[in-house]
């Protein structure tokens, strides 16, 4: 394994682990802000910071295509996920995000970019079954909330598969800044229409404010740049597989910090998701395609 590939996998792993904090942090921050306003605030705060950091490379990243994918992911996907997390439990919201790799593999296959081997597909199936066990495990979750998180995961697969082409020849931090900014701007009118003006008379609690700031900083700037760096260097399915680290961390926090029910069904689902990750990551060693050779989506 080359040093570049090792660095890419390490960046993806770090992003997945940090993302495990985002669902719990979102759940706390949603006590102050409505779901779409949380999307606007989170990425509206993170984008300018990244733009300053990547200012030398920003011009090359300022394209309609880059911004369009940012709207799809940072506005539509994260907005839907926030609505779902607001309705369901932390553990359910985190674990259902484990369906992303299977959706990524399906989208990659449909677009002619697929590189998954038989063992990987078995892994996707096992992880998908784990998601089903978690979603049907009862507790204080909401079926509608679970469905919205699942829909967000399905849409995000389009972004994961297309992103290597967007990143090709560009600075990952600059691309992320443009996409976050576009997503925040696109979500702003939706927030105004659907949720009205954000609360101005009720101050957030200390926990809510700290959760929001951590979500915008540690939960946005760091993992998305790391993930973009990794995406640029590996096949889409590989990047997608590392998203499964998020639900394992998030579900653990949900159970031990938020007191979410975590019985035999959830445990079996978590084990299935973890097993699916291990099986699905094997495929890129033999079947990897580099990003510059991929056709446009």
Per-residue pLDDT tens digits of the chain, which is 297 residues long: 577 878 888 888 888 888 888 888 898 999 999 999 999 999 999 999 999 999 999 999 999 999 999 999 999 999 999 999 888 877 777 777 767 777 877 787 777 665 666 777 777 778 767 766 765 554 556 788 888 988 998 899 899 888 888 988 899 899 999 999 999 999 999 999 999 987 666 788 999 999 999 999 888 888 888 888 888 887 776 777 777 677 777 777 777 777 766 677 777 877 887 777 677 655 444 334 433 333 333
The per-residue pLDDT for 58 is 93
The per-residue pLDDT for 134 is 61
Please return the burial class of 3, using the count of CB atoms within 10 Å of its CB with bins 0-12, 13-18 and 19+: exposed
User: 229, 172 in Cβ contact below 8 A?
Assistant: yes
How far apart CA 154 and CA 42 sit, in angstroms, is 22
User: 31, 171 in Cβ contact below 8 A?
Assistant: no
The tokens for 164 are 């290597």
User: 36, 191 in Cβ contact below 8 A?
Assistant: yes
User: 159, 100 in Cβ contact below 8 A?
Assistant: no
The tokens for 10 are 């390490």
User: 202, 34 in Cβ contact below 8 A?
Assistant: no
Extract the runs of DSSP E, i.e. beta strands, from the chain.
none
The per-residue pLDDT for 289 is 40
């Amino acid at each position: 394994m080359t040093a570049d590939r090792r660095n890419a996998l390490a960046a993806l792993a770090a992003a997945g682990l940090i993302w495990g904090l985002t669902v719990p942090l979102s759940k706390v921050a949603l006590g102050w802000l409505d779901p779409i306003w949380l999307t606007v605030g989170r990425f509206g705060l993170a984008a300018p910071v990244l733009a300053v950091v990547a200012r030398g490379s920003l011009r090359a990243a300022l394209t309609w295509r880059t911004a369009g994918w940012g709207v799809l992911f940072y506005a539509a996907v994260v907005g839907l996920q926030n609505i779902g997390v607001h309705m369901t439990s932390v553990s359910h919201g985190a674990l259902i995000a484990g369906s992303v790799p299977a959706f990524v593999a399906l989208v990659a296959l449909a677009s002619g970019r697929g590189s998954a081997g038989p063992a990987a597909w078995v892994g996707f199936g096992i992880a998908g079954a784990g998601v089903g066990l978690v979603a049907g495990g009862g507790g204080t979750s909401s079926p509608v909330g679970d469905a919205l998180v699942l829909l967000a995961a399905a849409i995000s697969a389009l972004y994961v598969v297309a992103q290597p082409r967007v990143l090709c020849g560009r600075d990952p931090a600059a691309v992320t800044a443009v996409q976050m900014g576009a997503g925040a701007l696109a979500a702003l009118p939706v927030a105004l229409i659907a949720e009205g003006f954000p609360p101005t008379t009720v101050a957030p609690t200390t926990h809510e404010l700290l959760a929001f700031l951590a979500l915008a900083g540690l939960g946005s700037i760091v993992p998305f740049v790391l993930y973009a760096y990794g995406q640029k260097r590996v096949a889409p399915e590989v990047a997608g597989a590392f998203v499964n680290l998020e639900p394992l961390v998030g579900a653990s926090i949900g159970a031990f910090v938020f007191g979410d029910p975590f019985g035999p069904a959830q445990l079996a689902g978590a084990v299935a998701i973890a097993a699916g990750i291990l099986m699905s990551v094997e495929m890129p060693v033999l079947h990897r395609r580099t990003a510059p050779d991929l056709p446009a989506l």
